[in-house]
Structure 1
Amino acid sequence: MSTAVAYPVLRTTDLTDALTAAHRVLRIADLSKAEVYAHAKLTTVEELLRLRAAVPGAWYCTESAVVGADGEPVYGFLEEELPGDADDLAGLLPLEFTEEGQPIGDVPDGYEETFLSAVGAGPASLAWWWTTWPAVPELNLHPGAKHAEVQIAVHSADLFREVPADTHTLYVYVGPREAARAHWIAAQAGLHVIGPGLWDG
């Protein structure tokens, strides 16, 4: 078993630039099995209401259990299960917005832009999993699917939305000992690796 390594290839204050660059990287990959994963940490009612309106139907996770109507602990809510009252919503914060495993062909047009424009100032992530990198014969690299991912870490200095930042970082994921593939991918998209690889495990 091995762990992917994420290499930063762009750091910017402009989410549009980050998404545009991510699409350039994704054009290199086989996306036939790709899925989209979106996460955002929400700390204010305003952020929650904005994202709830922009991207309905998501799952919202609590950091610690709250007591449900039946007296049992609850760790998350479907969007339609969230209370409508602002005070009740405030009592659930912080929450994490989660939409995982959406086949890329089923994602509505404009979903990525809508999500990124609604996330607010907190850490968030937009990622594409289960992509496949092409073979690179000159580097003796076969097609790579096991660790082929792309991620925009939004307002985050790490991969897991734990370290807030004023910038957004685009990462390409490759297998261990595949730094050369990361540099090759970045170059094909008009980018370059700008820092050391980060283990995602």
Structure 2
Amino acid sequence: MSNSYAQAVLRTTDLAETLRVVGRLLDLADTTQLEVDFEARVRTPGELERLSGLIPDAEWWSCGADRHGSSDNGDAPSEWLPIFLRSWCMAPESVEELVAAAGDTPAMIRWDFSGWPEAPEVCLGRGGPRGAYVTVCLNARDLDLQGPAPDHTLYVHVKQIEAERAPWLAAQVGLRVIGELEMAPL
């Protein structure tokens, strides 16, 4: 498992605006190899039905240290709620369906791409694929989806040694960073 470093640049209840800003950030990036990853903390049978209908082969595991149900064990996810559900390397076109299926579930969509652009104002060259992500936490304020929230948080990911890129990226889309740079497990 690797890590990137993420910094929040937007928190709002306006999901459409959040996705517009994602689009503007992706317009800056090298998206020749663009894919999305999805994670959610699924709490109810209805949430599970909506999400597993869209991503039937998602991996999952039960939430909690004393709970051991998982897709690796061949268990039925409905018997282990709440669960943490994850799917990798999805087509970018799946985002609208993922958002709709998530509803008010705490979930995360991460866009993974080839690299950030050169940032000469902060003395940074073009960034490579490591640390080049944009994440939206739906109905959550943290990357671990620990608790439901009434709003959504948008993060940009950068390499730790290129921390100056996060505020630079935020400024390119008319925003500023909020909060601290934090390690984000992938």
Q: TM-score range by the shorter chain?
A: 0.7 to 0.9
SS at match of 2:48: helix
Aligned counterpart in structure 1 of residue 102 of structure 2, from 102, 119, 131: 119
SS at match of 2:20: helix
> Conserved in 1, the CA contact under 8 Å of 2:30 and 2:113?
no
Amino acid in structure 2 at the alignment position of 1:12: T
Query: Which position in structure 1 is the counterpart of 2:151?
Result: 167
Amino acid in structure 1 at the alignment position of 2:68: A
Query: Which position in structure 2 is the counterpart of 1:195?
Result: 179
User: Aligned ranges for residues 178-193 of structure 1 at < 5 Å?
Assistant: 178-193=162-177
CA 1:108/1:189 → structure 2, altered by over 3 Å: closer, same or farther?
closer
Structure 1 residue 199: Cα displacement: 1.8
Query: Which position in structure 1 is the counterpart of 2:87?
Result: 99
CA 1:108/1:11 → structure 2, altered by over 3 Å: closer, same or farther?
closer
SS at match of 1:200: strand
Query: Which position in structure 2 is the counterpart of 1:151?
Result: 135
Query: Which position in structure 2 is the counterpart of 1:136?
Result: 119
Identity between Structure 1 and Structure 2 (%)? 35
Structure 1 residue 9: Cα displacement: 0.7
Q: Distance in 1 between matches of 2:184 and 2:61?
A: 23
> Conserved in 2, the CA contact under 8 Å of 1:58 and 1:97?
no
> Conserved in 2, the CA contact under 8 Å of 1:131 and 1:148?
yes
Gaps of 5+ in 1: 67-74, 84-88
Structure 1 residue 108: Cα displacement: 6.3
Amino acid in structure 1 at the alignment position of 2:181: G
Q: Distance in 2 between matches of 1:147 and 1:108?
A: 18
Query: Which position in structure 2 is the counterpart of 1:22?
Result: 22
> Conserved in 1, the CA contact under 8 Å of 2:55 and 2:87?
no
> Conserved in 2, the CA contact under 8 Å of 1:3 and 1:176?
no
CA 1:179/1:62 → structure 2, altered by over 3 Å: closer, same or farther?
closer
- In the superposition, the TM-score normalised over structure 2's length comes to 0.84
Structure 1 residue 122: Cα displacement: 2.6
SS at match of 2:84: strand
> Conserved in 2, the CA contact under 8 Å of 1:58 and 1:98?
no
SS at match of 2:179: coil
- RMSD of the TM alignment (CA)? 2.3
Gaps of 5+ in 2: none
Q: Distance in 2 between matches of 1:61 and 1:12?
A: 28
Query: Which position in structure 2 is the counterpart of 1:45?
Result: 45
Q: Cα deviations across residues 81-138 of structure 1 (Å, max 9, x unaligned)?
A: 886xxxxx64231223321023xxxx263x1111112113231100012430111223
- In the superposition, the TM-score normalised over structure 1's length comes to 0.78
